[in-house]
Structure 1
């Protein structure tokens, strides 16, 4: 019979581990107060020299949180136990938010598809994200934000939840141009249906399993192929290909997520057409057979912005080396991120 009244004597972590390993009863500690719990949370972060999450916003708390120990969300939030939430990400580079407006627009389109109403108008959401980034003092990293059906119960329907919830976190990280090629595989994990693939929702279990499958096989990531045999996308990135005729082709966005960085690439790439480096730029459906015959291949995503692919299913892509046109496209996007027009970059005011 379980002991419901554990003694006040505290067992060491080593003893607790021994008990679990030997199969004996494990005594669960009961936190007697919120201050004791908070102390335990602070203990976790006390040895961390550089905090990876310098700031968080929560509409549940109604403000910005700078203490990582308090960066939490309610367990009865429907995003947690039902996956009813959407998210998006913007890059912070040299004190600028790159393409925040494009990402925010997609974020709200995803929310509409998920039938989640924002607790704030778009202008307020944008203002919160800018203020959060400024408060974080982070000059390089990512800004990730979520809209959820909100906390309130553990039912399937969110109808009784008082309000939706908005969360955002600044992640301190290094953003650099990717110049080395990676290996990929064709995923055997079924890709999402069109409704869920075109909505940036938090249901990422297929994506996680696809990444794990690739890692098990010694590859960086994977590529999904749709039910018609056309190239789709990677687990959290778009795919772009350059044919032997120097055509840049991205898979059509009708069944996959319309990546903000991928769309920006489509806007910038015609510069290489004008220079005579590329023949054309377009979106189109490509079969696996056609795709495996291309000269160059790459992932396209916010934090990359381009990652060359040199090996696919243990077969070299093109000559198996990072292509010149891939790097030319990478340079275009990277320059746009670092020194792009004001319409793409939002300067974040930093407090001294």
Structure 2
């Protein structure tokens, strides 16, 4: 078998020929390595020796753009900076510069609704585990299409089961690192089982989280409960939802909002169970391990919390407009 040795022009031509369905959702990419924005999905690449590629050595965030506004941008960037600091990864630029690039790249994409995939890597420089081989940290931002779940999912809920994948150690679970192998395996098992999500359970029998989403519930005493943040990622959408839920306490729909160790028994006995995440918003769980949860339909808390969250995305204090920016890349 002959193996071709490709010239730079041949490589570029082949890259432009390559295509697959998901690429249609890739709208724009900013790369510090390239020093600008790329709009052709075939050219959205990172160096093969970037530690992000061969070691998962980096951190990331996923932000949502709704009606031309980025939701919870400051919260996401603060968590990104915290994650980077915990693995001693220096950001390639200031948070303010990052913010301007996010807005400019989103503006270039020309869409009103999107998911922003933001990665900070250790950078290229070698294939060893030595982080000091990398020449400089890098930032990669990809603007992708956002397709919300069907309204049927919000009305009829989703099926959830117990994960067999061991939860991450507490120190690692609190960092949004690009080393996401356990999360990948959790998603695989849910697809293989033909359910929507699986939830981790720690050695003490306490619920942790899904592959990319948090689980919360309303107990029989009308308390909205989330797991303690001991061994889970501090979900930005979950935390904002719990702030908004104080309005439901004032309305008498809820008695309180709390953080508590939760077990499978709590799930089976709950009035309502919900998955909360950046791309999910507030999604009711109506079945856990084959058992019906609550009425088997979207409950009143899930309905009101979803309404409050979506109103917050449109006109709340946590949105940043994309198309009114005057700052441009230097």
Same fold (TM over 0.5): yes
- What residue number does 1:317 align with? 293
1:268 counterpart (244, 252, 255): 244
Deviations 1:161-218 (A, max 9, x none): 1111111100012235651311011001101111111000111111111111122112
Matches within 5 A, 1:76-225: 76-175=49-148, 179=154, 180-225=156-201
Shift of 1:49: 11
Give ranges in structure 2 of 5+ residues lacking alignment: 326-330
Q: SS at the partner of 1:174?
A: coil
Shift of 1:86: 0.5
Alignment partners' CA distance in 2, 1:51 and 1:267: 36
Alignment partners' CA distance in 2, 1:151 and 1:54: 25
Shift of 1:151: 0.3
Higher Rg:
1
- What residue number does 2:328 align with? none
Alignment partners' CA distance in 2, 1:163 and 1:211: 32
Deviations 1:6-38 (A, max 9, x none): 3xxxxxxxxxxxxxxxxxxxxx4432x222221
Contact 2:67 2:314 in 1 (8 A): yes
Alignment partners' CA distance in 2, 1:254 and 1:226: 10
Contact 1:191 1:206 in 2 (8 A): yes
Shift of 1:236: 0.6
| TM-score, L = length of structure 1 | 0.88
- What residue number does 1:56 align with? 29
User: What is the aligned length?
Assistant: 322
Deviations 1:99-140 (A, max 9, x none): 111101001100011111011111111111111111111211
- What residue number does 1:237 align with? 213
Alignment partners' CA distance in 2, 1:112 and 1:279: 38
Alignment partners' CA distance in 1, 2:207 and 2:143: 33
Alignment partners' CA distance in 2, 1:321 and 1:134: 38
Q: SS at the partner of 1:235?
A: coil
Shift of 1:295: 1.0
Give ranges in structure 1 of 5+ residues lacking alignment: 7-27
**Higher-RCO chain (CA-CA 8 Å, sequence separation at least 6):** 2
1:251 counterpart (227, 232, 256): 227
Contact 1:184 1:222 in 2 (8 A): yes
Contact 1:135 1:350 in 2 (8 A): no
- What residue number does 2:265 align with? 289
| TM-score, L = length of structure 2 | 0.93
